[in-house]
Structure 1
Amino acid sequence: MKKSIILLSMIFGLFAMYACSEDDAATDNDDDNDETTGDVVATPTLAFDEFNASAVTVSFDGDEITIVSNALPNHTSPYWSANDDLYIDPIVADEESISPGNITEASYTLTVPTEPELASTSTETGLGAIGISVTGVPIYNQSEGPTDVTEGTASGFDWSGGHSGPTGYHYHVEARDVGETSPLTIDDDELLGIMSDGFLIYGRKCNSIGDYPIDGDASNGHYATTQHSTEEFYHYHIVNEIYLNTYYLLFGVDLQGTQNAIM
């Protein structure tokens, strides 16, 4: 009788050990297949389908994404040369305030991690390109040379929120609804582009709720699903605050991730 009890105990023990090892293996496999590491989620590749293929090339190499743009937008503007098919007379821009220079080809390259992470401290943006839009045009902050954008400068912005400067054509503010077919966000949840820290930026509204987000951080970034991912990931939205009584700055706040150079 004692031998039978001992034999049964040995069999039960072996079964328990096997069961535990199977559970551990399943957990390891689940961890390997999980795209998240804490709060870090890979940038949804579907979002890059929104970029203007005539201007932007996106390549994936391991844990990096490289975005290369020639900065030639796919929309009309008075900043095109007069003989270009996309040239139009000024719609919202004050003709006397239009800055000199036409839209011309340029080169911008941004390499970011596929899984951008929030930094321990935020980073103030500076002069020049701080992101690349879906049209391929660089995104600028509120600065224009040594000072912030003034009403006089802003009155020369075209309907897409852009103008020419010493470094070429770029955007400062959200596009304006003037009846043109726009590839840019206009008070909606559409993708605007990618910032230099690797986080995507969307319009003033969030697809997850169909309205303006109320849980944004100091840079109006938050974790939520979008039209590009059913999994929540960190992304920015245009801050829903009027600038100079008329405009919405595309990005007049700090970067919450680690800044990468746009060359």
Structure 2
Amino acid sequence: MNSSPLSSTALAITLALTLGLTGCGGSEDSNESIDATSTSDTATDTSTDTDDGSEDSGSGILHPAYYEFDQDNVNVVLSGSKVVIETNGLPNHTSPYWSSGHELHVEPTVTSYAQMAPGNIDDFVGTYTLTVDNSPTKATSTSATGLGAIGIAVSGSVIYNDEEGPGVPLDDAATSLDFNGAHTGPQSYHYHLEPISFSDDDSNLVGVIADGFFLYGRMCNSTGTYPTDLDASGGHTSITQFAQEAEYHYHIQNELYLGSYYILFPGDYQGSASAIR
């Protein structure tokens, strides 16, 4: 079963990193307690719960796209001009990476048990927290993404870039990816490729990147076609299904990888990225 919604006033939560993979660049110092109250207690006195697991502290209006995030796995709090996104790291869809007795477990298709990374989705016990601007702006210069989590998906799991490890291309681990372009290790289940369970050659919201800009599918909602004006990070400025005033956002770039897949985010941050902890 999926975990219940995470409270922004939860007591200290220990990240128990039970997965042994060293690929994908998870940090070795993540085996420490984090206090989930440290970033969001300031909003608790004035916040009101919404119908879908998000909270509004009463200062401004939470961007409508955040209401698309899975309410069972993700908690979103607006605190002044900042948005605090906390997730349990678990996806809300099927995968062969769930343990065999889990209700969301399915048999592998594009990978096999022999090729899959070690560990199950439900081995992960912990949270990821990202704090971004509710109205992010582009930075004066771009910055490279690092290894590990670079974004949080609407499903509850996290987004990684196109590297498997330091100087190790994703190609070396491609056979371990499930039909959502995801696998486990070293911390939790995460996406590298277009996650077809919730975005398959469409304009659906995929998640938020660590610089606060949203990531959408390969198509642009404003035109119903593939955008042709994307910058090197796969971003452009236009209206979306959640914003009727044009705003900057990213798209999964419509460039084939290994003949039939699409990498989620192979570019640099266009904004000032925050750490996902």
Shared fold (TM-score greater than 0.5)? yes
Q: CA RMSD in A?
A: 1.6
Residue 15 (structure 1) aligns with: none
Q: Measured at CA, do residues 43 and 154 of structure 1 come closer, stay the same or move farther in structure 2, by a change above 3 Å?
A: farther
Determine if the alignment matches structure 1 residue 213 to structure 2 residue 231: no
1:150 CA drift (Å)? 4.2
Asked if structure 2 preserves the Cα contact closer than 8 Å seen for 1:106 and 1:168, the reply is no
Residue 57 (structure 1) aligns with: 75
Determine if the alignment matches structure 1 residue 118 to structure 2 residue 132: no
Alignment deviations for residues 203-247 of structure 1 (CA, whole Å, 9 cap, x no partner)? 010000001111111112111111111111110001111122232
1:174 CA drift (Å)? 0.7
Pick the aligned partner of 1:171 from 182, 191, 198.
Answer: 191
Distance 2:211 2:261 in 1: 24
What one-letter code is carried by the residue in structure 2 that aligns with 1:159?
A: F
When normalised by structure 2's length, the TM-score is 0.75
Q: Measured at CA, do residues 187 and 167 of structure 1 come closer, stay the same or move farther in structure 2, by a change above 3 Å?
A: same
Alignment deviations for residues 25-54 of structure 1 (CA, whole Å, 9 cap, x no partner)? xxxxxxxxxxxxxxxxx9972111111111
Alignment deviations for residues 145-191 of structure 1 (CA, whole Å, 9 cap, x no partner)? 22334445111111111101112111100134xxxxx2x21110000
Asked if structure 1 preserves the Cα contact closer than 8 Å seen for 2:63 and 2:134, the reply is no
Distance 1:167 1:143 in 2: 15
Determine if the alignment matches structure 1 residue 131 to structure 2 residue 151: yes
Could you list the structure 1 runs, at least 4 aligned residues long, displaced by more than 4 angstroms after superposition.
Answer: none
1:88 CA drift (Å)? 0.8
Distance 1:245 1:214 in 2: 21
Distance 1:175 1:204 in 2: 11
Q: Which runs of 5+ in 1 are unaligned?
A: 1-41, 177-181
Determine if the alignment matches structure 1 residue 198 to structure 2 residue 216: no
Identity within the alignment, %: 48
Which one has a bigger Cα radius of gyration?
1
Greater per-residue helix proportion: 1
Residue 200 (structure 2) aligns with: 186
Alignment deviations for residues 38-94 of structure 1 (CA, whole Å, 9 cap, x no partner)? xxxx99721111111110000001110010000111101111111111111102223
Determine if the alignment matches structure 1 residue 240 to structure 2 residue 254: yes
Distance 1:67 1:44 in 2: 12
Distance 2:76 2:132 in 1: 11
Pick the aligned partner of 2:93 from 51, 75, 78.
Answer: 75
Residue 27 (structure 1) aligns with: none
1:120 CA drift (Å)? 0.8
